[in-house]
Amino acid sequence: MNEEYFQEKIDNEKKIEPKDWMPDDYRKHLIRQMSQHAHSEVIGMQPEGNWITRAPSLRAKMILLAKVQDEAGHGLYLYSATETLGISREELVQQLHSEKAKYSSIFNYPTLSWADMGAIGWLVDGAAIVNQVSLQRTSYGPYARAMIKICKEESFHQRQGYEIMAEMAKGTKEQKEMAQDALNRFWWPSIMMFGPQDSDSPRSGNAMKWKIKRQTNDELRQNFIDKTVAQAEVIGLTIPDPDLKWNEERGHYDFGEMDWDEFWNVVNGNGPCNKQRLAHHKKAHDEGEWVRKAAKEYAKKQELVN
Ligand code: 3HC
């Protein structure tokens, strides 16, 4: 009875709220996806954080600082939304540290130049926007509402990255080469953010049935590629895919074969920076222990006083 009633609500576009009955597998699926989304936001602060002290101007430093702070907020927002499903923050962090939980593969690549800040904002946040705009219609209420706030900030992230790339592309020969190099290194890992091909995506069946996902990995990837090609052309940069070609019949860009070995290699922990990202997170978490303790003690005292 519960299952049918639940699926009927989903089919009729009703949002599922924390106190509603839901199948255990729906709850587990959400905890997995939402917590990995949150982990991605927090780990994603590292590659960009590396460049805050090296920003080429005060304005650039202020913009990057604001963006990285936003990502921290997105992470906290998504952890809070995940906790409505009955799991603690400590447990979620433990799952990340024990590598039971994943985070987005894109953050396991190094950031080698200032142009990488442009490529990340333009491509990584650009891809995140495509994914997250779709997730605004996800069936779980707290997740859908979190996406609405996050998408507003994401568009600032994408614009500031695109502005960096546009400036450098019309700058000196060295600046244009630096921007093109960043695009060459971040293009394929950015389109891998959308996950494996639909035919190879074990989670998508339930995700689509329960309207956790509203579009498939391949649909979102195609949507991102179609909108990004023109952006590269406008600033005179070349997307590093010789097979990229507009297909009038399909109404989309055809693109080259993706390196799925590289994708699974990075997803399974063997990317260029996986070890470093996790070690950094663990160190920061340990160093923050005293803050968590003090906050808990203060909250306890407040309870006694009130
Ligand atoms: N990186 C790491 N793992 C990935 C991945 C990627 N790019 N793509 C897929 N995977 C993992 C999945 O988590 C799953 O593993 P699991 O079962 O252990 O969790 C496995 O590969 C199979 O993939 P599926 O397609 O079957 O899994 P999903 O249905 O969960 O789809 C997803 C993957 C498209 C990433 C989906 O989970 C999703 O939309 N998540 C929410 C968005 C998100 O997490 N974005 C991460 C980036 S956040 C960001 O960029 C912040 C921005 O501000 C910079």
CB 139 within 8 A of CB 15: yes
Q: Could you give the CA distance from residue 185 to residue 111 in angstroms, rounded to a whole number?
A: 10
Ligand 1 centroid – CA 221 distance (Å): 12
pLDDT along the chain (306 residues), means of 10: 92 97 98 98 98 98 98 98 97 98 98 98 98 98 96 95 98 98 98 98 97 98 98 98 98 98 97 98 97 94 85
For ligand 1, atom 31, the nearest C-alpha belongs to 195
Residues 6+ apart with CB under 8 A from 59: none
d(CA 68, CA 137): 26
Distance set, CA 123 to CA 33, 117, 223, 285, 297 (Å) = 21, 10, 13, 29, 42
Give the largest CA-CA distance in the chain.
70
What is the gyration radius of the CA atoms in the chain, in angstroms?
Answer: 20
- Which of 102, 154, 277 for mutating ligand 1's site (highest number of atoms within 8 Å of CB)? 102
CA–CA dist 297, 245 (Å, integer): 60
Q: Which amino acid is at 113?
A: S
Cα 203 to averaged position of ligand 1 atoms, centre (Å):
10
Query: What is the model's pLDDT at position 304?
Result: 81
Neighbouring residues of 285: CB distance < 8 A, sequence distance ≥ 6: 93, 97
**Rounded-to-integer distance, Cα 187 and Cα 69, Å:** 24
Return the best residue to mutate from 25, 40, 218 for the ligand 1 pocket (most ligand atoms within 8 A of CB). 40
pLDDT in tens, 84-100: 999 999 999 999 999 99
What is the reported pLDDT for 141?
98
pLDDT computed for residue 242 by the predictor:
98
Output the pTM of the full model: 0.97
Q: Which two tokens stand for residue 196?
A: 């494996």
Q: How confident is the model at residue 1, as a pLDDT?
A: 65
C-alpha angle with apex 228: 145 to 250, nearest 5 degrees? 100
**Do residues 134 and 202 touch, judged by C-beta distance below 8 A?**
no
Give the Å distance between the CA of 303 and the centre of ligand 1.
39
Which residues have any ligand 1 atom within 6 Å of their CB?
Answer: 32-33, 36-37, 40-41, 44, 71, 74, 102, 104-105, 124-125, 128, 131, 154, 192-196, 201-204, 207, 217, 267
Q: How far apart are CA 222 and CA 74, in angstroms?
A: 25
Q: Tokens standing for 20?
A: 């509603």
